Amino acid sequence: MLRYRPEVPDSHETEAQQLGVRADLLEVLARRALTEDAARPDAVEKLHARGGRTAREHVAELVDPGSFVEYGRFVTAAQEARRSTDDLLDRTVADGIVGGLATIDGHACAVLSYDYLVMAGTQGMRGHHKTDRLMDVIERLDLPTVFFAAGGGGRPGDTDMPLISALDVTTFAAWARLSGRVPRIAVVDGNCFAGNAVIAGCADLIVGTPRTSLGMGGPAMIAGGGLGDVVAADVGPLDVMVDNGVVDVVADPDDAAATARRLLGYFTGPTRDWAAPDQALLRDAVPEGERAAFDVLPVVETMCDEDSVTVLRPGFAPELVTALGRIEGHAVGVVANDSRHLAGAITADAGDKAARFLQLCDAHGLPVISLVDTPGMMVGPEAERTGLVRHTSRLLVAGASLRTPLIGIVLRRAYGLGAQAMLGGSTHEPLMTLAWPSAHLGAMGLEGAVRLALRRELEAVEDEAERERQVRELTAAARERAAALNVARYFELDDVIDPAETRGIVAQLLAAARRDRPADRGRPVDTW
């Protein structure tokens, strides 16, 4: 029978002997004790001193107490040719990955976590087999999944399986194939390189912490490629990954599991307890003048249930806000132009950010609310160097392909193709397109339209002051014609409303569109 190391508690054996349990069960209980964190107190203490958590601690923080059903608990690394059995049981517990089924807030899910205590959370061959097994179960049961992905990438030291390239590993294809099928959230609390980074990168949402460093290659691979010596923390630090849009949400290490639980909740059904903010606040949320920038996030937070909004990718393309929230307990996605950045124009990055977000909402059946305040697509030679034509067109394609309800609300400016892109391609594409009293709509910015349409007439006015006076006068006339009430008279809008009515109308529309059926899933969600 397997020996016990001195530090392993003998409570299982003592209890079993008192109950007269058979020797074979004693052996199972003893082996199980060796898989627990308590069997590795020194290693756990060192990990805690660095601010880390064990795989089992990650899982315990995330799931409902007592709900975790583990797969592959007794697996060890495929290194019998170089290690003793006791060493494998001691140092390669679960081959570095803990995974299984559980409930989170009462909803069935799957959870996996690489274990930094086992060879820096590297991916072993048997660990890959465990992961593949769980991927199959996840696909069969359509289970939302949280993956704690930190680790050092592929492990080259496994000896018990004949390998040359290991490129036939199926884990990455299995995980990627779940895109659009089930919600998948990756949590990265620590270094996450190579294969581990691909697990994070294929997920729908990534939660990062200040300890995060993400990269397609770690320090050893960088040095091996002749690219110099880089410390792990400098490979892909959090601030870089927030600004470039890789990380969706930032959390403190102590809150990472709770943040993942909150994100997963948007995809697992409505909540019963909710409260609505004072909707009268929306009447003064937008400045009267078109040129005054304002923060659109308070508009989003006021429209949605209290404390229900989570902003995604806030540091990337800040000219366009993407957020998850709830209205009367039901999850929604929100896209909104932020006039504080590039006047809310649709840039190449904004097109990518919004298009990918629409795909995510569509794949998992979340209605989308689009809050429009944009001068249109970004223009100019510098903008075109970013691939603007293709990247902004992604938003049009994604919006026109939505199967989930889209509701458009013009807060202030809705000009040109940028406004059309925010509305799925047309003011008549959403389930309903509403406007606030401050809204103006046009084929392009009003002053620019005047200067373009009447260029010859204006050039004929020799006095510059008189020319500009005429521009102001003509722009004012164009502004009156472009006002929401006039646009609605031509039925290019469905309604112009009191801003305080917005939430109630949206709730009624979403209730009318709601069906008691699962989301029509299957389309992959772009990783970018």
If 0-12 CB within 10 Å is exposed, 13-18 middle and 19+ buried, where does residue 424 land? Answer: buried
Of 452 and 49, more confident: 49
Instruction: Give the DSSP H/E element, type plus range, for residue 334.
Output: strand 330-337
Residue range 485-506: average pLDDT?
97
Q: Tell me: the pLDDT tens digits for 340-359?
A: 999 999 999 999 999 999 99
Whole-number pLDDT of residue 319: 98
Residue 7 pLDDT greater than 50, yes or no: no
Whole-number pLDDT of residue 127: 87
Residue where the block lists tokens 């164009």: 478
Residue range 467-494: average pLDDT?
81
Residue 180 pLDDT greater than 90, yes or no: yes
Whole-number pLDDT of residue 448: 65
Secondary structure of 9-22 in HEC code, one letter for each residue: CCHHHHHHHHCCCC
Q: Tell me: the pLDDT tens digits for 76-100?
A: 887 878 888 887 888 888 888 999 9
If 0-12 CB within 10 Å is exposed, 13-18 middle and 19+ buried, where does residue 451 land? Answer: middle
**Are the C-beta atoms of residues 153 and 195 closer than 8 Å to each other?**
yes
Whole-number pLDDT of residue 15: 59
Of 468 and 217, more confident: 217
Whole-number pLDDT of residue 4: 40
**Residue 117 token pair:** 């205590």
pLDDT > 70: what percent of the chain? 90
Distance between CA 93 and CA 33 in Å, rounded? 11
If 0-12 CB within 10 Å is exposed, 13-18 middle and 19+ buried, where does residue 297 land? Answer: middle
pTM (2 decimals)? 0.90
Distance between CA 222 and CA 327 in Å, rounded? 47
pLDDT band for position 224 (cuts 50, 70, 90):
confident
Whole-number pLDDT of residue 162: 74
All structural domains of the chain with their residue ranges: 22-265, 279-439+483-513, 444-482
Residues 6+ apart with CB under 8 A from 57: 37
Whole-number pLDDT of residue 297: 98
Distance between CA 187 and CA 209 in Å, rounded? 8
Whole-number pLDDT of residue 452: 63
**Residue 376 token pair:** 């249109």
What spatial distance separates the first Cα and last Cα of the chain, rounded to whole Å? 52
- Amino acid (one-letter) located at 498: D
- Tell me the C-alpha to C-alpha distance, in Å, between residue 463 and each of 143, 450, 476: 71, 18, 20
**Are the C-beta atoms of residues 118 and 96 closer than 8 Å to each other?**
yes
Whole-number pLDDT of residue 6: 40
Strand partners, 111: 100, 146
Residue 516 pLDDT greater than 90, yes or no: no
pLDDT > 90: what percent of the chain? 70
Whole-number pLDDT of residue 1: 36
**Residue 122 token pair:** 């590297």
Residue 425 pLDDT greater than 90, yes or no: yes
Residue 380 pLDDT greater than 60, yes or no: yes
Fill in the DSSP letter of residue 205.
E
User: What's the gap between Cα 465 and its chain centre?
Assistant: 52
Distance between CA 333 and CA 312 in Å, rounded? 10
Average of per-residue pLDDT values in the chain: 90
Q: Tell me: the pLDDT tens digits for 257-269?
A: 999 999 999 999 9
**Residue 9 token pair:** 């508690």
Task: Please provide the size of the chain in residues.
Answer: 528
Q: Picking from 23-27, 102-106, 433-437, which range would have the lowest pLDDT averaged per residue?
A: 23-27
279-439+483-513: what CATH class? Answer: alpha beta
Residue range 138-150: average pLDDT?
97
| Angle between helical axes of 11-18 and 23-34 (0-180°, round to 10) | 160
Residue range 189-199: average pLDDT?
95
pLDDT band for position 526 (cuts 50, 70, 90):
very high
Residue 371 pLDDT greater than 60, yes or no: yes
Distance between CA 202 and CA 50 in Å, rounded? 27
| Fold agreement between 22-265 and 279-439+483-513 | yes
Among candidates 443, 480, 473, 439, which has minimal Cα distance to 457? 473
Residue range 133-138: average pLDDT?
96
**Residue 133 token pair:** 């097994």
Distance between CA 96 and CA 117 in Å, rounded? 7
- Just give the CATH number of 22-265: 3.90.226.10
